[in-house]
A and B are shown apart, each in its own frame.
Chain A
């Protein structure tokens, strides 16, 4: 791959980020409510105090000017202070990000582990029982709302069976020093299998909740791609070579049939990183999604702005990764 392609992709980010900033800024400005009044709600502040605080935070200036200041600072990597944490926004986001990344990766791995084999088998056994069951399962996965499925899982595994914790990411007793900041991996690297088990027990339900609808979509995509590939001449030719059926399916067919799955998986991962507010809230997962939800409620403008920008960057980046994966799967594509 040429480095030029990467530069091109990064250049594409500029208008995207600018547009996203404008939209978020306008929407936040139009949303009724005042962060200062929310912050000082229980403190019986005088109008003078409120005014002083608004001035401190720059909220008394016109919206356009505030946007200009925000943009200027953002260009230098400064996203301002989080109103409520009194700390730089970037720092607050960085603190919450690993939990979301860990949850997303777990959901992605789970979804791929379910959907790729299931899609292949469904295609090979087209219209047979396995295929019908996979179709039915996919329909469920696509139709069931995530929060509902999450709550059902909590009721079943945490409340009734008491097998898994209700919420959170890890018990406090299990604080391991960070290496990768992903607690499952860190606890393994630090030689704490007990903590790994604990982290995993917290992770599994929210990951499953996110993975199910994703697996449902990916199974359909994988099945369709596989059916298409199985009709092609090179599969007949591969069979004519007398190589094992396993090799024909999992090497010759799957390598070609993974291309659409990778695309959809990348898009889905983007929306998971930026869209699992509901699941994080249901499971009390200390991730970015929940932080953004809380921040919207209290009109924490700088944090919401920065988080949305981060989502946009992630999305473009994931699409780029998908393109790189294409070239590995399909050598005819050159970036």
Chain B
């Protein structure tokens, strides 16, 4: 898949390796294939960005990775290897051991992700009590509490020893997001899945939270998957990026390269949506149309209906092809469209 690798990933084996992932949701209208043949690698210590519109399958892909696809959805096909473990072969106990300890997740809205009826203390301590093997046998609870306070301090909650007994609603939005990050990172996971970590926050807080995630990633040496619809965030915080559209990856590569030289018409459309400081007067050109229904797709490029460069040879299943140094794209008309 990755014949050439960037410096970040050189000489290492992937921590997470996804091949041919297919996740489906039965609905009344038919079987929705929300994720359709996704291949991805996450390397130790890197930050991988996943970009796409709502419904592109970016969240469902990583819900599959952590085994929490919402009912009635299910993983239909493909393989997922994490740190030598076959994720698709895990039973309930196996998942429980892995989640929170090796793979952690934060959700888009901390207000709804934190339990309103339990104190912050309880919500952090329970993760530690479930996974931390190095807590002393006597006074486990006290040790868990001390470590929870330490985590809150690490993510920048002021006076954590006093605030730890508060309930989530007593914190501001940015603080709640930090608490959720503290919970996710409390057992020093190898992989953090950060699903839209800043969408619910205002801009100044966004930057603080993203910097916090970046700092902690370096400090703890973990890998981060940053799921977002904001290419600006990707450009600033990720090493590599995959662009998803209608359940597939349409373009993937090293962040700098992909932002500077986007190949897929969809990616170029997305980048066209970012106002450039050098050219503020240029009109922002939206991508016309909307994401297709994910039922019974196939036999055509999924972006066909919205693409300015569509042609008769786009009416077939398009494979991912190398488009440069560590850069792949799912488009047969790259050359024509770039002219």
**A 221-243 binary contact with B (CB < 8 Å = 1; else 0):** 00000000000111011111111
Contacts of A256 on B, CB cut-off 8 Å? 115-117
Contact in complex: B105, A242 (CB < 8 Å): no
Residues of B within 8 A of A330 (CB): 116-117
B-chain residues with CB within 8 Å of residue A251 when the two chains form the complex? 118
A239 CB contact (under 8 Å) in B68, B112, B116: B68
Which of B75-83, B123-131, B133-141, B242-250 forms contacts with chain A?
A: B123-131
Quick check: B118 and A242 within 8 Å, CB to CB?
no
Chain A residues within an 8 Å CB radius of B99: 239-242
Instruction: Spot the interface stretch: B36-44, B89-97, B272-280, B301-309.
Output: B89-97
Chain B residues with Cβ below 8 Å from A233 are 107, 109, 112-113
Min C-beta distance of B181 to chain A, whole Å: 12
Known interface pairs A247-B126, A331-B167. Does A240 touch B116 (Cβ–Cβ under 8 Å)? no
* B118 contact set on A, CB distance < 8 A: 251-252, 255
Query: Whole-angstrom distance between the alpha carbons of A245 and B126 in the complex?
Result: 12
List of B residues within 8 angstroms of A252 by Cβ: 115, 118
Give the chain A neighbours of B169 by CB distance below 8 A: 331-332
> Are B98 and A242 in contact, with the CB atoms below 8 A?
yes
- Which of B113, B116, B127 is close to A331, meaning CB atoms less than 8 Å apart? B116
CB contacts (< 8 Å) of B68 on chain A: these are 236, 239-240
Say how far A206's CB is from chain B's closest CB, in angstroms: 35
Of the candidates B101, B117, B167, the one whose C-beta lies within 8 Å of that of A242 is B101
Task: State how many angstroms separate the Cβ of B178 from the closest Cβ of chain A.
Answer: 15
CA distance A241 to B66 in the complex (A): 10
Chain B residues contacting A247 (CB-CB under 8 Å) are 126
**Closest CB-CB distance, A253 to chain B, in whole Å?**
9
Chain B residue, CB-CB nearest to A257? B117
Give the chain B neighbours of A245 by CB distance below 8 A.
92, 96
Decide if A232 touches B112 in the complex (CB within 8 Å). Answer: yes
Whether A240 and B109, one on each chain, are in contact in the complex, defined by CB atoms closer than 8 angstroms, is no
* A263 → chain B closest CB, angstroms: 15
Chain B minimum-CB-distance residue to A332:
B169
| A232 contact set on B, CB distance < 8 A | 112
Complex contact A242–B112 (CB within 8 A): no
Instruction: Look across to chain B and name the residue whose beta carbon is closest to the beta carbon of A236.
Output: B68
Quick check: B114 and A242 within 8 Å, CB to CB?
Answer: no
| From A242, A255, A329, A332, contact of B130 by CB (8 A) | A242
The answer, among B70, B97, B105, B114, for a CB contact under 8 Å with A240, is B105
Q: Give per-residue flags for B166-180: 1 if the beta carbon is below 8 A from chain A beta carbons, else 0.
A: 010100000000001
User: What are the residues of chain A within 8 A of B97 when measuring CB–CB?
Assistant: 242
Q: Does A76 contact B (CB under 8 A)?
A: no
Known: A233-B109, A236-B68, A332-B169. A243 touches B127 (CB 8 A): yes
Give the size category of A's interface with B.
Answer: 20 to 34
Cα separation A300 to B105 with both chains bound (whole Å)? 69
A43 at the interface (CB under 8 A from B): no
CA A85 to CA B132, docked complex, whole Å: 70
Please give me the residue from chain B that is nearest to A234 by CB atom. B115
Most chain B C-beta atoms within 10 Å of own C-beta, residue among A234, A244, A331 = A234
With contact pairs A233-B112, A233-B113, A251-B118 given, residues A240 and B130 touching in the complex (Cβ less than 8 Å): no
What is the size category of the interface that chain B forms with chain A?
20 to 34
Whether A237 and B105, one on each chain, are in contact in the complex, defined by CB atoms closer than 8 angstroms, is yes
A242-B131 contact in complex given A247-B126, A251-B118, C-beta closer than 8 Å = yes
Kindly provide the distance from the CB of A116 to the nearest chain B CB, expressed in whole angstroms.
Answer: 16
B100 within 8 A of partner (CB): yes
In the bound assembly, the distance between CA atoms of A233 and B108 in angstroms comes to 9
B98: A residues at CB distance < 8 A: 242
List residues of chain A with CB within 8 A of the CB of B126. Answer: 241, 243, 247
Chain A residues in 8 Å Cβ range of B127: 241-243
User: Which B residues are CB-close (under 8 A) to A332?
Assistant: 116, 167, 169
Q: Which residue of B lies closest to A256 (CB)?
A: B117
CB neighbours (8 Å) of B105 from chain A are: 237, 240
- CB-based contact B104/A240 at 8 Å: yes
Which residues of A are found within 8 Å of B115, using beta-carbon distances?
234, 237-238, 252, 255-256
Interface string of A251-287 (1 = CB under 8 A from B): 1100110000000000000000000000000000000
Check: B183 CB closer than 8 A to any chain A CB: yes
Q: A240-B100, A245-B92 are in contact. Are A331 and B117 (CB under 8 A)?
A: yes
Contact partner, A244, options B66, B96, B109, B184, Cβ 8 Å: B96
- Is the beta-carbon distance between B130 and A234 smaller than 8 angstroms? no
Give the most central of B92, B98, B130: most A CB within 10 Å: B130
A235 to B142, CA, bound (A): 25
Among the interface residues B99, B105, B107, B113, which one has the most CB atoms of the partner chain A within 10 A? B113
In contact, B113 and A244 (Cβ under 8 angstroms): no
Task: Establish whether residues A237 and B107, one from each chain, have CB atoms under 8 Å apart when the complex forms.
Answer: yes
**Cβ-closest chain A residue relative to B117:** A255
Q: How many angstroms between the C-alpha atoms of A89 and B118 in the bound complex?
A: 47
Name A126's closest neighbour in chain B (CB-CB): B71
Residues of A within 8 A of B184 (CB): 240
Q: State the CA gap A242–B127 with chains docked (Å).
A: 7
For B100, give its contact among A236, A242, A329 (CB under 8 Å). A242
Minimal beta-carbon separation of A221 from chain B (angstroms): 17
- List B contacts of A331 (CB < 8 A): 116-117, 167, 169
Q: Judge whether A241 and B117 touch: CB under 8 Å.
A: no
Q: Which residue of B lies closest to A238 (CB)?
A: B115
Q: B107, A236: Cβ atoms under 8 Å?
A: yes
User: CB-CB < 8 A to B167: which residues of A?
Assistant: 331-332
In this complex, what residue of B is CB-closest to A247? B126
- Contact call A329/B104, Cβ cutoff below 8 A: no
Pairs across A and B, CB under 8 Å, 14 listed:
A234-B112, A234-B116, A236-B107, A237-B115, A237-B183, A240-B99, A240-B104, A241-B104, A243-B100, A243-B130, A255-B118, A330-B116, A331-B116, A332-B169
Apart from A330-B116, A331-B167: 11 A-B pairs, beta carbons within 8 A: A237-B114, A240-B105, A241-B126, A241-B183, A242-B100, A243-B96, A252-B118, A255-B117, A256-B115, A256-B117, A330-B117
Question: Nearest 5 CB-CB pairs, A to B?
Answer: A242-B100, A242-B99, A233-B112, A241-B100, A237-B113
